[in-house]
């Protein structure tokens, strides 16, 4: 998955309106966006292009009625959908609280481990190569999931840094989530991984030393 780039500051307000418009329908054209937001078609195309480059929307070619001139239609990507607040975190915390109440704290770890095993099985088929290649593949996956991740080297040591925690509210309540993710990274990279900082503990990012 492609890492979503930050939006340019100029025109952010209009881009937010474009995203909101696309959120309310399955797909839309530049002409429809221009008409709905009362801007010019070239301006609409420019905003749509910026949003597509940022990974927040995607376009496909569509021919109305199977004939006529083909046109591009746009819809939100998963990253675009993630820009809109959802109550999933509250729901997850409530569900885990019930699991813990009914079956004990160990049951929460079992749930997290089952989730980790599912991710590991799916991602292991996509990851290959040496440590550097695996790290980059993991970064691509994490960015597709909204982690704002990056990898870099310091004095020959690889580090993975995550600027966002999509499950922050859950992680604050249940550190089993963070433990499970650490085990997942160790399994996928097949090398020792040590977490140095956690967003859930107040750090600006989650930072992992690899190897």
pLDDT in tens, the chain (211 residues): 334 444 444 457 888 889 888 887 767 899 999 999 999 999 999 999 999 999 999 999 877 655 667 889 999 888 887 777 656 677 788 888 898 899 987 898 888 888 888 888 888 888 889 999 999 999 998 888 888 899 999 999 999 999 888 888 888 888 888 999 999 999 999 999 999 999 999 898 999 999 8
Cα 5 to Cα 131: distance, rounded to the nearest angstrom = 25
Distance CA 133, CA 139 (A): 10
Give bridge partners of residue 161 from the DSSP assignment: 150, 207
CA atoms within 13 A on the CB side of 124: 11
pLDDT at 184: 93
Contact assessment for residue 64 and residue 71, using Cβ atoms and an 8 Å cutoff: yes
- Delineate the domains of the chain, giving CATH numbers in brackets: 12-81 (1.10.10.10), 105-210 (no CATH)
Identify whether the C-beta of residue 177 lies closer than 8 Å to the C-beta of residue 35: no
Residues whose CB falls within 8 Å of the CB of residue 165, separated by 6 or more in sequence, listed in order: 147, 171, 199, 200, 206
CA distance 148 to 162: 6
Sorted by sequence, the CB contacts under 8 Å of residue 20 that are 6+ apart come out as none
Report pTM: 0.56
């Amino acid at each position: 998955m492609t890492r979503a780039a930050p939006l340019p500051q100029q025109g952010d307000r209009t881009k937010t309106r474009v995203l909101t418009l696309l959120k309310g329908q399955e797909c839309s054209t530049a002409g429809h966006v221009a008409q709905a937001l009362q801007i010019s078609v070239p301006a609409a195309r420019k905003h749509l292009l910026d949003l597509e480059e940022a990974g927040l929307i995607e376009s496909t070619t569509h021919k109305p009625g199977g004939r006529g001139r083909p046109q591009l239609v746009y819809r939100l990507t998963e990253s675009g959908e993630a820009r809109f607040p959802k109550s999933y975190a509250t729901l997850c915390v409530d569900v885990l609280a019930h699991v813990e109440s009914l079956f004990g704290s160990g049951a929460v770890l079992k749930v997290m481990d089952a989730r980790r095993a599912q991710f590991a099985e799916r991602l292991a088929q996509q990851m290959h190569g040496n440590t550097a290649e695996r790290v980059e593949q993991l970064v691509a996956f994490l960015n597709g999931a909204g982690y704002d991740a990056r990898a870099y080297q310091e004095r020959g040591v690889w580090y993975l840094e995550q600027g966002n925690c999509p499950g922050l509210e859950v992680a604050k309540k249940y550190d089993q989530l963070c433990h499970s993710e650490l085990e997942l990274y160790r399994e996928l990279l097949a090398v020792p991984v040590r977490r140095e900082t956690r967003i859930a503990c107040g750090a600006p990012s989650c930072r992992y030393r690899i190897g």
